[in-house]
Amino acid sequence: MRFIYKPSNKYDAPFDPKRCAQNVFWGYRGHQCTRNGKYPDEDGILWCKQHHPDTVQKKKDEWRRKFDAKQMASSAKSERRDAEDKFCHGVSTEFLKENSLSDILERDA
Ligand SMILES: [Zn+2]
Instruction: State the pLDDT at residue 100.
Output: 79
How many C-beta atoms lie closer than 10 Å to residue 3's C-beta? 14
Instruction: State the pLDDT at residue 44.
Output: 95
Q: How far is the CA of 9 from the centre of ligand 1 (A)?
A: 21
What does DSSP say about strands 39-40 and 29-32: parallel, antiparallel, or unpaired? Answer: unpaired
pLDDT tens for 21-40 read 999 998 888 999 999 999 99
Instruction: State the pLDDT at residue 109.
Output: 64
Q: How far is the CA of 33 from the centre of ligand 1 (A)?
A: 5
Q: How far is the CA of 107 from the centre of ligand 1 (A)?
A: 68
Alpha helical stretches, state H, the chain = 53-87, 93-98, 101-108
Q: How far is the CA of 85 from the centre of ligand 1 (A)?
A: 52
pLDDT tens for 48-86 read 999 999 999 999 999 999 999 999 999 999 999 999 888
Give, for 105, the enclosing helix (H) or strand (E). Answer: helix 101-108
Q: CA 93, CA 44: separation in Å to the nearest integer? A: 68
Q: How far is the CA of 40 from the centre of ligand 1 (A)?
A: 12
Longest dimension (CA), the chain: 85
